[in-house]
Chains A and B, each alone.
Chain A
Amino acid sequence: MRKSTIAATLLGSALSVVSMSIASAQDKVVKIGALSDQSGLYSDLAGAGSTLAAQMAAEDSGLMAKGWKIDVISGDHQNKPDIGANLARQWFDVDKVDVIVDVPNSGVALAVNNVVKEKNGVFLNSGAGTSDLTNAQCSPNTVHWTYDTYNLAYGTGTALTKAGGDSWFFLTADYAFGAALERDTTNAVKAAGGKVAGSVKHPLNSSDFSSFLLQAQSSKAKVIGLANAGGDTSNAIKQAHEFGITSGGQKMAALLLFITDVKAIGLDLAQGLNFTETFYWDANDDTRAFSKKFAARMKNGAPPSMVQAGVYSSLIHYLKALDSMGGNPHDGAKVVAKMKDMPTDDVLFGKGSIQPNGRKIHPAFLFEVKKPAESKAPWDFYKLVATIPADQAFTPLDKSTCPLLRK
């Protein structure tokens, strides 16, 4: 009796030691944290839709049928870097999250970027714009997936300047993203032979833009560049019409415009706006099929925004990398290195790759908002003007200031 008990105990502990060592090395458990603005100005373009996109990526990856356990949790960073960083820390320390996705708001993204590196997790950013994430602030644990300020600036800034809009005035949101977008667009405009007449910084989440618009108007610049996002952009465009800015001959350039913003502004006022995005739901059969499934599960029936599509696409690639590794090593840098080795290919962004600095490369599209008469269905908003090939759409590697490249 006694002997058998001891034997059983020994056997048991031996087994548990074995299983523990497997656990610490590799298992088939993944926990995804969708960190987003769940209630503020970016919650429509990211928010709950990004959590849904993460959930759909887990389902569509096919890993669950192979016995993997994938959990998706979500959190609200309220557009505050300290809250975002604390939540990320708690997710890694307490909830054992492997990968953080989305994170709109560049200020929060830069804070989370540091936490993820410190905790050796994985950060697949889709929502934030600042190109610093793959330049000065780049990290071996981060992949910047969907778009960035260089990409927007290059697409829209170059196109409009070459089309004759050679003097610019910026309305800039007063935080990391706005500053990065203004800087990158200024470079693009100057490279294309234009000049910048001035700029004014406005607080994030402003409801009244009339003062700023008047300053832009009196600058006599040909193009007024909106280096802001979400509700700020739609309010600025709406009010620019009121003050006769567009009818006075100045052109508005929304440097970052999401489909949810176009919906909020209405085609009447938004028509004719040029802007750059890397995803549109109505681009091809694959994106339409996915968007239909996605919209059916959204409370307001909206198709995916570029950010939400990026969350899906980045997770599909992440899970593919885990699958090819045969399990989850819970070692962020190792997984990201694997992701960079593999070419990317998914239904939403097509074929692409990840550069050594963490920048995901794919084509970008210059769109124009349709006239109300041209829109045949709800959410039928964009006309494709030009496609910017993948190798030109993002910062060239030799211009990236990422320290990882200097090894």
Chain B
Amino acid sequence: MSINLQALSAQLLVGLINGSFYALLSLGLAVIFGMLNIINFAHGAVYMMGAFAAYFLLNVAGIGYWPALILAPLAVGIFGMILERTMLKWISGLDHLYGLLLTFGLALIIQGVFQNYFGSSGLPYAIPDQLKGGVNLGFMFLPIYRGWVVIFSLVVCLATWFLIERTRLGAYLRAATENPTLVRAFGINVPRMITLTYGLGVGLAALAGVLSAPINQVRPLMGADLIIVVFAVVVIGGMGSIMGSIITGFALGIVEGLTKYFYPEASNTVVFVLMVLVLLVKPSGLTGRAA
């Protein structure tokens, strides 16, 4: 196959777009794992709920895309915090496996309920008028909305990284995971911080859901199809590493885009092949701390 430079750069850009979804989702997972030590299998389900929330805001309340960008993650984040308070809290001291099973079960229930009411083929959600159309970059036609997704998610990712790694609040959070008892002794309400953190992680997933609603069909299984790949991204990047998950998210989107160009049939599996290779060479992930 002759390599067409134009086509190749187009695939790179497309990969970057998909990478922004991987990055947003794996970032949420990393935040939750890093702070709560929970492997959140319900992440795909809350991503789907974010997209559905945007759909309902538009079709029931008449609230458009821009407010939904804030309201949907907020609503789903609150739902997440209720989950944390009523269920996840009770298994916080136990083995990872319990959290994994609980959240996996929750995901199946949530997806089942949505599927029962909305079927599987999905609901349409239009691109907001301000972001319709596209620009011709010479080597490809870039839809404005996709460009917006890349920039917006990059900003959100970096802001989250800054919040956790560079602010006082972030320092409390990191300290609370290291030694909750000691942090409590300083008069900081650790359980509340944990709840808020889970809400933040879940809200990030819901935000990714809102972003993807105009691109993909809003359907109950949209998260289930994506979550496995996102877990592979997190494993490759290193569980719990904030920057690692952001970079790996974008990088793997690009790798996948290249695979779709050179050997499309393997585009579903390439991420997992990479995961196996990374686990063999560096079991804690590319940027992970050794467990």
Shortest CB distance A18–B (Å):
49
- Contact check, B124 vs A266: say whether CB atoms are below 8 A apart: yes
- Contact check, A45 vs B121: say whether CB atoms are below 8 A apart: yes
Known: A218-B6, A244-B141. A40 touches B221 (CB 8 A): yes
Residue in A200, A203, A211, A218 whose beta carbon sits within 8 Å of that of B257 in the complex = A211
Identify the interface centre among B121, B124, B133, B216: most chain A CB within 10 Å of its CB.
Answer: B121
The reply on A202 being an interface residue by CB < 8 A is yes
The reply on B210 being an interface residue by CB < 8 A is no
The reply on B36 being an interface residue by CB < 8 A is no
Residue in B222, B225, B260 whose beta carbon sits within 8 Å of that of A211 in the complex = B260
The reply on A210 being an interface residue by CB < 8 A is yes
- Contact check, B134 vs A208: say whether CB atoms are below 8 A apart: no
Against B, the Cβ 8 Å flags (1 = close, 0 = not) of A61-82 are 0000000000000000000000
Known: A207-B216, A234-B217, A242-B127. A214 touches B10 (CB 8 A): yes
- Contact check, B120 vs A207: say whether CB atoms are below 8 A apart: no
- Interface stretch of the complex, out of A118-126, A257-265, A273-281, A345-353: A257-265
The reply on A26 being an interface residue by CB < 8 A is no
- Contact check, A238 vs B261: say whether CB atoms are below 8 A apart: no
Residue in A201, A208, A265 whose beta carbon sits within 8 Å of that of B124 in the complex = A265
Shortest CB distance A380–B (Å):
16
Question: How long is the Cα–Cα vector from A300 to B122 in the complex, in angstroms?
Answer: 12
Shortest CB distance B207–A (Å):
17
For chain B, give the interface size range: 35 or more
Number of A-B contacts (CB under 8 A): 112
Shortest CB distance A234–B (Å):
6
- Interface stretch of the complex, out of B192-200, B234-242, B264-272: B264-272
Shortest CB distance A261–B (Å):
6
Question: How long is the Cα–Cα vector from A406 to B58 in the complex, in angstroms?
Answer: 60
The residue on B at minimum CB distance from A268 is B126
- Contact check, B141 vs A201: say whether CB atoms are below 8 A apart: no
Against B, the Cβ 8 Å flags (1 = close, 0 = not) of A213-256 are 01101100000000000110011001100111000100000000
Identify the interface centre among B15, B119, B123, B145: most chain A CB within 10 Å of its CB.
Answer: B119
Question: How long is the Cα–Cα vector from A117 to B45 in the complex, in angstroms?
Answer: 41
The reply on A174 being an interface residue by CB < 8 A is yes
The reply on A205 being an interface residue by CB < 8 A is yes
The residue on A at minimum CB distance from B225 is A207
Question: How long is the Cα–Cα vector from A287 to B13 in the complex, in angstroms?
Answer: 48
The reply on B160 being an interface residue by CB < 8 A is no
Question: How long is the Cα–Cα vector from A248 to B15 in the complex, in angstroms?
Answer: 22
The residue on B at minimum CB distance from A267 is B124
- Contact check, B257 vs A207: say whether CB atoms are below 8 A apart: no
- Contact check, B7 vs A264: say whether CB atoms are below 8 A apart: no
Known: A214-B10, A218-B7, A244-B143. A203 touches B17 (CB 8 A): no
Residue in B14, B120, B122, B225 whose beta carbon sits within 8 Å of that of A210 in the complex = B14
- Could you list 14 A-B pairs, sorted by A, with CB under 8 Å? A39-B120, A39-B221, A201-B264, A208-B14, A208-B18, A210-B18, A211-B11, A211-B264, A234-B217, A238-B124, A242-B127, A242-B134, A263-B121, A264-B122
Closest 3 CB pairs of A and B: A266-B124, A211-B260, A44-B121
